[in-house]
Amino acid sequence: MTTATPTVPAGTQATGTTTRAARVRKRLNSRTATLISIIIALVWTIPTFGLLISSVRPEDQIKTTGWWTFFTNPQFTLENYQEVLFSSSSSAGQLASYFINSLAITIPSVLFPMAFAALAAYALAWIDFKGRDLLYIAIFALQIVPLQMALVPLLKFFSTGVTIAGVTVLPGWDLVDEQKFAQVWFAHTCFALPFAVFLLHNFISQLPRDLMEAARVDGATHPKIFRTIVLPLITPALAAFGIFQFLWVWNDLLVALIFAGGRSETAPLTVRLAEMAGTRGNEWQRLTAGAFVSIVVPLIVFLSLQRFFVRGLLAGSVKG
């Protein structure tokens, strides 16, 4: 006797998944979820708001009372900003020149890994070659290597070069002054590549195979496919990585201090902020104004690329 096995309609599983997704979306759009989101946003914003209030208060008020007393005894001044931006004192201001140094360090340190990672991610996703999977796993594994472990070997590489069996394969870089920016660019590019390749590979590998095959049928080579098809489609992922990398490099102190030095010709904004606290760490009015100046550029970058950032984070989470 033969027993007939009931068949499940093809769309049943998809319908169940859609229903679960709808339930989750409904819960996230509830009043409770909205209220929790507002509370988290307020708590997250309070320190920044306090920093802004403190930056426009007189020095004696900052050092004697909390920022929240501003609302009961409001006193307003822009002397803190004038001091940190334009003061001729070596211990107080001159942030403008360090601001330029931070831009000179950050912009290339974002563009270089972005370009190299996009090319590598495309090759690992759409070009078949021997050892491709092992290479991708090795690149992924590099993300777990602490940055601090690579600082001494990298500094030795810059200073003495590479010598094998007494033969100098690569000489030391021997850079001075503004030339040291190249060392910072190299270091940040090396540290950023594993995560960048991983992020962009996940995005590029999900592009429709039919699209790639149609381009090859039309005679397009890999460079043309990458330039005309892949690059426009991965713009959200590039923007997401660019924001992460920009924030990381702009706020970095350790790498820039080691490879660029602490001199005014090459030191970034973070080095100057650390010095502005004073030898006893009591110049709070400088830190509040200087810190708020330092977050203006990252804030502008984030807000201008926000729509790409959200699309990049959500890319690949939903198919179809």
Per the listing, tokens 């001159």 go with 94
Per-residue pLDDT, 315: 53
Q: Is 86 part of a structural domain of the chain? A: no
Domain count, the chain: 2
What pLDDT sits at residue 301? Answer: 83
Residue 4 lies in a domain: no
Whole-number Å distance between alpha carbons of 13 and 44: 40
The predicted pLDDT at position 31 comes to 81
Predicted pLDDT at 17: 53
Tell me the C-alpha distance between 258 and 270, whole Å.
13
Mutual angle of helices 95-126 and 235-250, in 10-degree steps? 140
Mention every residue, 6+ apart, whose C-beta is less than 8 A from residue 211. 229
The whole domain housing 64 covers 22-76
Same domain, residue pair 41 and 159: no
Q: Which residues neighbour 201 within 8 Å (Cβ) at sequence distance 6 or greater?
A: 120, 121, 124, 125, 136
CB neighbours (10 Å) of residue 241? Answer: 26
The rounded distance, in Å, linking the Cα atoms of 89 and 267 is 17
Q: What's residue 317's pLDDT?
A: 44
What is the rounded CA–CA span in Å between residue 42 and residue 32? 15
Low-confidence ranges of the chain (pLDDT < 70): 1-18, 20-22, 24, 27-28, 87-94, 277-283, 309-320
Q: Which residues of 265-295 are buried (b: 16+ CB within 10 A; e: fewer)?
A: ebbbbbbbbebbeeeeeebbbbbbbbbbbbb
The enclosing domain of 162 has a CATH number of 1.10.3720.10
Residue 87 lies in a domain: no
Same domain? 61 vs 160: no
Q: Is residue 146 part of a domain?
A: yes
pLDDT value at residue 58: 85
Q: Are residues 301 and 196 in the same domain?
A: yes
Token pair for 303: 């807000």
One domain, residues 196 and 56? no
Tell me if 302 is assigned to some domain.
yes
- Please give the structure tokens belonging to residue 49: 């708001």
245 and 169 co-located in one domain: yes
Q: Are 241 and 200 spatial neighbours (Cβ–Cβ below 8 Å)?
A: yes
Q: How far apart are CA 93 and CA 83, in angstroms?
A: 5
| Inside any domain, residue 3 | no
Among the listed residues 92, 100, 58, the one whose alpha carbon sits nearest the alpha carbon of residue 273: 92
Quote the CA–CA distance of 245 and 197 in Å, as a whole number: 13
Show Cβ contacts of residue 200 under 8 Å, excluding neighbours closer than 6 positions: 117, 118, 121, 234, 237, 238, 241
d(CA 9, CA 300): 51
